[in-house]
Amino acid sequence: MRDEAFEVFVEEFGEATHRVDVPFAAIEKWRGKLPNQLLTYWQAEGWCGYANGLFWIVNPDEYEDLVDEWLEDSPLEQIDSFHAIGRTAFGKIYLCGETTGQSVSINCATHAVFALQRDLKRKTDTRSLDISIQAFLGLELNECDLDDEAGQPLFEHALKSLGPLAADEMYGFEPAIALGGKMHLENLRKVKLDQHLTILRQLAAPTMPFSKIDMDKLLNL
């Protein structure tokens, strides 16, 4: 039976439009590293795409190298070990820390890592980690979309013009925003996620807007 948090999520995003069952071995591998509530969702729901590929709950193993690349030399490396648990059609990756819970996101298209200091405090009990996952499922559709230069959401137009995404695909801008490209529909391409995000990271290091992380304070918590 679904809990209230997942019911709310499905009310917003609908039932899964793509699903892969999660092997028992994968659940056991991540036990103790990711919140129990997330593993419960995996077991019941699988790794899935929702809203025709706008949002995906993902296999962290497939994103470990990408996460390492995007967080390399950032202060977050000193705070926790982070793993991907979700992503959007435009390559925004949601991370869960082993001791901080769901606390960080990487907007790869705009080369920005978002992490607020209040979310990076170590959680000393499993219930707090579970709550971070349930809160994460309060995402709204518009938070997963990406607006064009005129402030209009792109996903439905991209879906119509480029077709639906496979589990290893995303909509990416060519030329990349980091190279001066513009967020226009005509600049979107359907690309392999792993390859595209690796190339984007090689173009420039991500910024951390709004973070203002006090490392000494966090490391002494």
Domain residue spans of the chain: 4-145+196-216
Which tens digits make up the pLDDT trace of 156-183?
999 999 999 999 999 999 999 999 999 9
* % pLDDT > 70, the chain: 94
Q: What is the mean pLDDT of residues 198-219?
A: 74
Confidence at residue 214, expressed as pLDDT on a 0 to 100 scale: 56
pLDDT-derived band at 221, boundaries 50, 70, 90: very low
Q: CA separation (Å) from 148 to 95, 109, 128, 206?
A: 25, 12, 36, 20
Alpha-carbon distance of 166 to 212, in angstroms, equals: 36
Q: Are 42 and 19 in contact (CB under 8 A)?
A: no
> Which range has highest mean pLDDT (74-83, 134-143, 209-218)?
134-143
Mean pLDDT (the chain, rounded):
94
Q: Are 157 and 183 in contact (CB under 8 A)?
A: no
Which tens digits make up the pLDDT trace of 64-80?
999 999 999 988 989 99
